[in-house]
Amino acid sequence: GAVVSQHPSWVICKSGTSVKIECRSLDFQATTMFWYRQFPKQSLMLMATSNEGSKATYEQGVEKDKFLINHASLTLSTLTVTSAHPEDSSFYICSARGQGGNEQFFGPGTRLTVL
Amino acid sequence: SQKIEQNSEALNIQEGKTATLTCNYTNYSPAYLQWYRQDPGRGPVFLLLIRENEKEKRKERLKVTFDTTLKQSLFHITASQPADSATYLCALSLGGGFKTIFGAGTRLFVKA
């Protein structure tokens, strides 16, 4: 149990375009989902926390108008990178936590490359 | 300032030995602490969680200790195997919304 999927697993896009990444909890209801970014050989950096049906809470320094997060259902959250630039190239990982649960279950990550 | 520090250097050990990884933190009061395994290009995989009022937790060949006075957690892998080679992440979960903050990880190499 506790499987989280992400789609796509990798994406290459042109500078200035927008990219949407989906995060799904497959076998449990995720009341809270988290979005992280990880640069090579660095730690996971929390970008935002989203609760189902509420606006996401963004970490300091993360532009909410650039990284749009939607958590419309208990099994799906999306991250849209708008007007992507090469510096947005990174590994984006989501995680999900069920109601009353403490553990976070991570998706496999999405590798974004902006040309 | 708030920090989470893990062994900065990679850890190389011989198969069959016990690997011990360290996680130290400052200026945090975590509700609980977690350890994850991450392989290259993959998302982290949950291993163990230990609460602030627990001293030790075990799961198969894994053992975690948590000393809130020293602000330190130790992660042990006994009878290590080459398949245990990966990056291991320490993560602190804070109260309230249980926001989780990750350390940079320690790369473990187990040689056959």
Regions of chain B where pLDDT drops below 50? none
Shortest Cα distance, chain A CAs vs residue B55, angstroms: 18
Measured between alpha carbons, how far is A76 from A90 in angstroms, rounded to an integer? 21
| pLDDT value of residue B16 | 97
> Is residue B63 within 8 Å of B13, Cβ to Cβ?
no
Measured between alpha carbons, how far is A56 from A78 in angstroms, rounded to an integer? 11
Mutation for B interface: A45, A59, A103, most B CBs within 10 A? A103
> Is residue B97 within 8 Å of A49, Cβ to Cβ?
yes
Question: Is B30 in CB contact (< 8 Å) with chain A?
Answer: no
Measured between alpha carbons, how far is B98 from B101 in angstroms, rounded to an integer? 9
Helix (H) or strand (E) holding A35: strand A30-38
- How do residues B72-92 score in pLDDT, each as one tens digit? 999 999 999 999 999 999 999
Q: Which residue has the tokens 């799961």?
A: B59
**Tokens matching residue B98:** 């249980």
Cross-chain Cβ contact B98/A44 below 8 Å: no
Question: Is B48 in CB contact (< 8 Å) with chain A?
Answer: no
Q: Which residue has the tokens 């130790």?
A: B74
Mutation for A interface: B1, B25, B92, B102, most A CBs within 10 A? B102
- Mean pLDDT over residues A43-48, rounded? 92
Cross-chain Cβ contact B104/A42 below 8 Å: yes
| pLDDT value of residue A30 | 87
B99: nearest CB among A49, A91, A107: A49
- How do residues A1-26 score in pLDDT, each as one tens digit? 689 999 999 999 999 999 999 999 99
**Tokens matching residue B76:** 């042990």
| pLDDT value of residue A102 | 73
Cross-chain Cβ contact A102/B98 below 8 Å: yes
- How do residues A61-114 score in pLDDT, each as one tens digit? 999 999 999 888 889 999 999 999 999 999 999 999 887 777 789 999 999 999
- In single-letter form, the type of residue at position A23 comes to C
